[in-house]
Amino acid sequence: MSWSKLKQQLESFLSPTLQGKVEYRATGYRYLPDKAGICYIAVDKKNILNMSDATTLIKWYQSEQEIKNDSGIDIPISREQIEVVRSNMEGKIPEDRLIVIARSRAISELAKELLAAQSSLSKSDFMVAATKFLSSSIEESIESKDMLLNILALMDRRVGKKRMLNMSDKIKLKHPAVQYFFELRLGTF
């Protein structure tokens, strides 16, 4: 889905009190492949939540290398993971090498999880979350562990004052960005 269509759909779900106050913005560089893009949520023309692709891959690689080089981290590999590698490689690789490949894949996944937990968001993360938000129920978005889905749900017109007040205890356990948008929305009632 194109950015303009996605933005239009997201803004159609904004609470009437937030329309004109909250904006979804994205920049992209079509003719410069080494320039990723920036995506952000702005409140009163100020960038509140920035998502930039420029350094995400570097951070992910650095996290992966730190995990690989840390001798204190032992990542157990199951037979299922080895069998997945074996089936992908069509059985042409020695057993000891299968273990190395499976461990490398597990480390990459762990690095991605760590990066997501550190909330290093990118434009592509926002696009995926926004598309998922538009295709799922508001309850799923509110209960999700994904902070972008939480933020989009909190600004949604389908979430009323009573529901907002009922979820105030849960919001205290969420990321500070989610708490910020909760307070912003609560202040509009």
Task: With H, G, I as helix, E, B as strand and everything else as coil, classify residue 50.
Answer: strand
> Which DSSP symbol is given to 93?
S
**pLDDT at residue number 177:** 82
Query: Between 127 and 124, whose confidence is greater?
Result: 127
77 close to 70: Cβ distance less than 8 angstroms: no
Task: With H, G, I as helix, E, B as strand and everything else as coil, classify residue 103.
Answer: helix
How many whole angstroms separate alpha carbon 128 and alpha carbon 171?
Answer: 22
Over the stretch 55-98, which tens digit does the pLDDT of each residue have? 555 666 666 777 677 776 677 788 888 888 888 887 678 888 88
- Residue 136's alpha-carbon distances to 6, 24, 130, 152, 153, in angstroms, are 15, 19, 10, 12, 11
How many whole angstroms separate alpha carbon 74 and alpha carbon 68?
Answer: 10
Over the stretch 144-184, which tens digit does the pLDDT of each residue have? 988 889 999 999 999 999 999 999 888 888 877 888 899 99
Letter string b/e over residues 112-143, b meaning 16 or more CB atoms within 10 A of that residue's CB: eebbeeeebbbbebbbebbebbeeeebeebbe
**pLDDT at residue number 88:** 84
How many whole angstroms separate alpha carbon 178 and alpha carbon 169?
Answer: 13
**pLDDT at residue number 30:** 62
Q: Is the pLDDT of residue 13 over 80?
A: yes
What does DSSP say about strands 46-52 and 22-28: parallel, antiparallel, or unpaired? unpaired
Give the mean model confidence (pLDDT) for residues 134-146: 91
Instruction: Give 118's strand partners.
Output: none
What lies within 8 Å, CB to CB, of 81 at 6+ separation is 102, 105, 106
**pLDDT at residue number 103:** 84
Helix (H) or strand (E) holding 155: none
Over the stretch 14-31, which tens digit does the pLDDT of each residue have? 999 999 999 998 876 665
Q: Is the pLDDT of residue 112 over 90?
A: no
* 35-49, 51-65, 99-113, 147-161: the lowest-pLDDT one: 51-65
Domain residue spans in the chain? 3-54+120-186, 56-117
**pLDDT at residue number 171:** 87
Q: Is the pLDDT of residue 120 over 80?
A: no
Return the structure tokens found at 101. 């490949």
Query: How much is the pTM?
Result: 0.65
**pLDDT at residue number 150:** 92
Q: Is the pLDDT of residue 100 over 80?
A: yes
Helix (H) or strand (E) holding 38: strand 37-43
